[in-house]
């Protein structure tokens, strides 16, 4: 079977969790408009076209439950779509360079993006709120992925470096405690959710 329907190069392809659909991402060479398409994985029938990005789409993946799709684009955004209707739900804005990849956390609650701006960002998958910026690379961040348990994030950069970050709050608090040289104020404890034991 061959899936035809894109007019320009196809940058990525990803199966839905149930294997029934495939989402593909395309980058236009002249019109500078990117699209993603959803296909029936059994018949090859084109089901949906996701339009809304102002530039090429670099990646498209399903959420773990298959209900949403996230796309990453050269237009410096990622977008979240309803997988069955193609309705645009959220636009994730905050990167200062094109977004190369987007991925869901294993529980579907977070989205991770990697960008030309040398950062990766973590977003709330339901609200689109930016939760965290991961820094440390001195070059483009090509991709980012969660570990299967969701407690680690790996980012890959142009400079040949892979950074590993933890998302485990207990581990983060232990790291912070080992580096803090003073007691936190009551306001800081409240802000960061630190409990006195």
Half-sphere CA count of 110, side-chain side, radius 13 A: 22
Examine the domain organization and report whether 159 and 183 are in the same domain: no
Examine the domain organization and report whether 56 and 132 are in the same domain: yes
The C-alpha R_g of the chain, in whole angstroms, comes to 19
Examine the domain organization and report whether 119 and 184 are in the same domain: no
Q: What is the pLDDT of residue 83?
A: 97
Supply the range of the domain harboring residue 194.
168-197
> pTM, whole model, 2 decimals?
0.83
- Name the phi and psi angles at 138, rounded to 5: -110, 20
* CATH code for the domain in which residue 18 is found: 2.130.10.10
- Block means of pLDDT (10 residues each) for the chain, 197 residues, are 80 95 81 80 94 90 97 95 96 94 95 93 93 85 92 87 77 62 72 60
Q: Is residue 2 part of a domain?
A: no
Q: What angle do CA 101, 121, 37 make, to 5 degrees?
A: 30
Examine the domain organization and report whether 89 and 131 are in the same domain: yes
Whether residue 54 contacts residue 33, with contact meaning beta carbons closer than 8 Å, is answered with yes
Q: Is residue 69 part of a domain?
A: yes
Burial of 130 (0-12, 13-18, 19+ CB in 10 A): middle
Work out how many domains the chain is built from and give that number. Answer: 2
Examine the domain organization and report whether 59 and 156 are in the same domain: yes
**Cα–Cα distance measured from residue 144 to residue 42, given in angstroms and rounded to the nearest whole number:** 29
Examine the domain organization and report whether 131 and 182 are in the same domain: no
Q: Is residue 4 part of a domain?
A: no
Examine the domain organization and report whether 71 and 97 are in the same domain: yes
């Amino acid at each position: 079977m061959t899936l035809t329907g894109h007019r320009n190069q196809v940058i990525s392809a990803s199966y839905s969790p149930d294997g029934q659909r495939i989402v593909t991402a395309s980058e236009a060479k002249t019109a500078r408009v990117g699209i993603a398409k959803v296909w029936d994985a059994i018949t090859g029938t084109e089901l949906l076209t996701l339009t809304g990005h102002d530039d090429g789409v670099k990646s498209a993946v399903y959420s773990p439950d298959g209900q949403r799709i996230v796309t990453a684009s050269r237009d410096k955004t990622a977008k979240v779509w309803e997988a069955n209707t193609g309705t645009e739900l959220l636009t994730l804005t905050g990167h200062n360079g094109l977004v190369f990849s987007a991925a869901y956390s294993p529980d579907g609650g977070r989205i991770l993006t990697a960008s030309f701006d040398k950062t990766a960002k973590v977003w709330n998958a339901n609200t689109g709120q930016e939760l965290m910026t991961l820094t440390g690379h001195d070059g483009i961040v090509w991709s980012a992925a969660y570990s299967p348990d969701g407690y680690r994030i790996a980012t890959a950069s142009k400079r040949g470096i892979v950074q590993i970050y933890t998302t485990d709050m207990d581990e983060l608090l232990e790291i912070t405690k080992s580096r803090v040289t003073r007691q936190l104020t009551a306001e800081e404890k409240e802000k960061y959710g630190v409990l006195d034991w």
